[in-house]
Amino acid sequence: MNKIALTLTALGTAALLGGCAGMQSGGTDNPFADASFQKILKNDFSSKGQATVDRLKQVGAAQYECSKYDYLGKPMPEDVAKRIESQSLAAVVPPADGKYLGDWKAGLEVASNGKGMQWNDKPGSPNGGNCEACHKVVPNDPSQGDIGPPLVGYGRLRGASEAMLKYTWARIYDSASFNACSYMPPFGAHHILTEQQMKDVMALLFDPNSPVNK
């Protein structure tokens, strides 16, 4: 499964219009600018509600470069990957009040909720993170995914040092900060989750009373 498909699975939202979808045309070095591909986009996608064709435009170097090298069947050059990771990490915005942890109970709801950003969702309504689609978040639930690493015992095993809190926040904000072609959606960078929702997910991972750490 490629980056596009996995991003959509992780979000559980917006059908093909939501993740690392279509490719922008322009430039002779753009492998996606051929007429047949542009015809597919024009014929197969249309705006419906809040899910508009504007989502077919890729956002940032990570989406373009990762899709390009996947399309070409070539490994991404190390210098390109490092540049993407450095730029992504530099763009991470920490919590405005400096506090990383919210309410783990609210975080569990975010992690379990796959709704949001689809054409039939109410614009402005909170999105879910759908973390459980890709990660095992709480023990003894066979319905959870295994695309991403298991998160059970996350805080209990890693501790809650300032460095670990900052690292985890950056992972949620934009995982390309550490893996240029990460399948994990950039929840903060693309405004999928609010700052408070991210804090709540952080609490789910670190709070000793959270089911994650039991």
Q: 186 and 125, same structural domain?
A: yes
The CA distance from 184 to 207, in Å, is 22
**Inter-axis angle of helices 195-206 and 162-173, to 10 degrees?**
130
Q: 150 and 72, same structural domain?
A: no
Residue 20 has pLDDT above 50, yes or no: no
Q: 69 and 119, same structural domain?
A: no
Q: If you search the block for the tokens 């639930």, which residue do you land on?
A: 141
pTM value is 0.82
What integer pLDDT is reported at residue 96 of this predicted model?
97
Domain boundary (83, 115, 132) is at 83
140 in a structural domain: yes
101 phi and psi, to 5 degrees?
A: -110, 135
144 in a structural domain: yes
- Under the banding of pLDDT at 50, 70 and 90, the label for residue 33 is low
What integer pLDDT is reported at residue 10 of this predicted model?
40
Q: 57 and 157, same structural domain?
A: no
Contact 13, 194 (CB under 8 A): no
Over 28-60, what HEC string results?
Answer: CCCCCCCHHHHHHHHHHCCCECCECHHHHCCCH
Q: 149 and 64, same structural domain?
A: no
The CA distance from 89 to 193, in Å, is 18
**How high is the mean pLDDT of the chain?**
85
What integer pLDDT is reported at residue 206 of this predicted model?
98
Determine the structural domain holding residue 206 and report its residue range.
Answer: 104-213
Q: Which of 106, 105, 146, 100 is nearest to 126 (CA)?
A: 106
Q: pLDDT, tens digit, for every residue of 71-103?
A: 889 999 999 999 999 999 999 999 999 999 999
97 in a structural domain: no
Q: 156 and 122, same structural domain?
A: yes
To the nearest 10°, the Cα dihedral for 115, 174, 103, 151?
90
The CA distance from 126 to 192, in Å, is 9
Q: pLDDT, tens digit, for every residue of 168-199?
A: 999 999 999 999 999 999 999 999 999 999 99
What integer pLDDT is reported at residue 3 of this predicted model?
43
Q: pLDDT, tens digit, for every residue of 51-61?
A: 888 887 777 88
64 in a structural domain: yes
48 phi and psi, to 5 degrees?
A: -150, 115
Query: 22 or 103: whose pLDDT is higher?
Result: 103
Structurally, how many domains does the chain consist of?
2
120 in a structural domain: yes
Q: pLDDT, tens digit, for every residue of 97-143?
A: 999 999 999 999 999 998 988 888 888 889 999 999 999 999 988 99
What integer pLDDT is reported at residue 32 of this predicted model?
62
- Helix, strand or coil, per DSSP, at residue 6: helix
What integer pLDDT is reported at residue 22 of this predicted model?
37
Q: 67 and 108, same structural domain?
A: no
What integer pLDDT is reported at residue 120 of this predicted model?
87
